[in-house]
Structure 1
Amino acid sequence: MPHALLGDDAESGVRVGDIAIENTNRDGHLDAERCDDQAGYNRAHAKHGADGCVTPVWHNVDEQLQRILIVPTLTEPTGTRRHTRAGFSMVELLITLVLVAILGSAASSMLKSQLRGFSRVNDRQEARSVARTALRTLETELAMVDATSGGTNGVIAASSDSISVRVPYASGVFCASGTMMQLPVDSAVLATAVFGGFAIKDTSATGAYTYTNSANSPSAGTSSNCTGVGLTAPSGGSYLAVSSASGSAGAPMFLYQIVTYRLGNSALFAGLKGLYRKVGSGTAQEIAAPFGTSATFRYYTAMSDTALTTTPSVSTIRGVQLKAAAYSPHRTAGRATPELVTVTSAFFFRNRTD
């Protein structure tokens, strides 16, 4: 069998560059037929076989050329092709697109979750704002309501969903002959107030206010009715003629308007409640919404430390509690209902003697 020689080896072959020629026939035996007696010539140009016979190398040129072994050069495997241009293959491009889609989907889900979280926080703040709007309005007016015992006080009517009270808007002292010396007052409040009556304090006996409902609005009064008893209006004050007013000179006196707060069906949010405010016999206006069906009024009496679930007699009411179960005006995406926040606050009336 032909083989490559790594050096000059006289026993295994003849060195001719990178070509090795063996002196064997196709059967792997020595070719004895080619031996001749040209001993001298053959000794000079031939190789000895195993049996001592000499075979000339050039006699077997055709056969030996078929036994030439050339050291192979490295070639690329069949079916492969060398890339000659820079860029991406279709497979690489598809893999990249799939990875980008997966990462984009994950990022989108995370952003949506974060946005919904922020929306819920914002909606809860809006719900609190609804509740606080109602509470601040009530606080402004209910804090001025009188709760004097021993007679009709500042509360006219009360229930679990409404309360009507007498809210002072101008104060002063009684002079004489139905004249009131009015102390300086906020002109905006005075301009929008709807006169519902007046109250004069009994300074000689009970110390309680006596309320008188009236439809006759006050007019400009005579200053001499006050100066005659030693009362002079301060700068910014005035004198008012109040029909049917009577009392002791110098007795505290105020004018009031009748305000009704009611929790009714909201005109803006179907199925929910709104807080309405009505002055006198005017039109009720929805001032805060939306509220849940659990929003309600509860009341305190002189004998209770907690708000009563049943409405007591108006003459015993000393404070009111509003349970403002407020909803956000907006609904967060992915949620069936808006955010609900329940804020409870209590307001106690002034001039409580018990």
Structure 2
Amino acid sequence: MTLDWENSPNYLAVSPIIKDGAKYPEKTYAAAQDGVRGRSAIGMTKDALVLYCSGDGTSDSSDPEALTQELLALGCDSAMMLDGGGSSQCDFTGEQIKATRKVHNWICVWTKKTAETPPDKEDKPVSKLIVCLDPGHGPGCVNGSLDGSYRECDFTWDLYTRLRPLLEAQGITVVSTREQESDYPSLSARASVSNRAGADLFVSLHSNAAGSSARGFVAFTSAPPETAARNRLAAAIISRTRAAGVVLWGSGLAHEMYTVLASTTAPAVLLEYGFHTNAQDLALLKDTTYRDKLAQATCAGICDYLGLEVKEPDQESGQPNEPDGWAREAWSKAVAAGIFDGTRPRDGLTRQEAAVVLDRLGLLPEK
């Protein structure tokens, strides 16, 4: 981006807000452009053009500072704020935000090549797949049951601790927006964790709230169509959740432009596992066995979307009876040499088991 407009045959009279990957050092917009309103902007990441638009008077309205932070979370190295308020409008292949004013100017973008079914994820080996888990909220969050017996932040952290090892047992790398239970990052910071990690998926964990009659599981994505990667991910998780006997809220799928869904570059879903304002759901959300069921269904749905065969745990250890990819060759050699019996490749080693292994290796003295 350059401000040397006098030597340019064509230019946009706009307000720069990001330069060299950081907030622009000075305020470049007038006071009349401040405040919470619809916004439009253009940004550049290292390998992509970002076109941004939010409707005036909607929950997505923001001030220039919030817009800047959201574009930084998307990885923009440079960005310009265009006209906003009632002038915000866009048409992204049929998905429209209409201006409340008469606006006659458009910026048109053509892609060089359009495929009928563009690839939306690389065919990666499982050891390189990254899933970002987002345990919703954090300490001090007041979301919870009316009687005070349940807090959403406690539930999301507990479910995260159940889901993470299940995914890792499938060979998937997991990153988290909260590495400690005491963490409480902002919404844009959560999206940044996923974007910096180059995550293949972003999954936000929550429980819901509404009137006392509403109940059931629902997966939120940012928008249609159903063929979009985010909605195919949601459909896979919904299918596994339904198969586990979990009640769905409506169809189980809904759309909202939540910040963590709109600001992540990876296909993103926000999972509401039930309504903590409903007595039936509340009892289930508190139940540890039910939480295990939710974690297992979520893991299976993620694996289905990624095209991975779910490794079923063996009966003795509860862990998949397969070694991780990085250990497979060494494990096969150890089993072939009689050092191990081929079971429980992911379990820890007790002292007595270590003694047996050392004996099989001939490293223990004879009596």
TM tier, shorter chain?
Answer: under 0.3
Q: Which has more strand, going by share of residues?
A: 1
State TM-score, norm by structure 2.
0.21
Higher relative contact order (CA closer than 8 Å, sequence separation 6+): 1
Higher relative helix content: 2
Larger Rg: 1
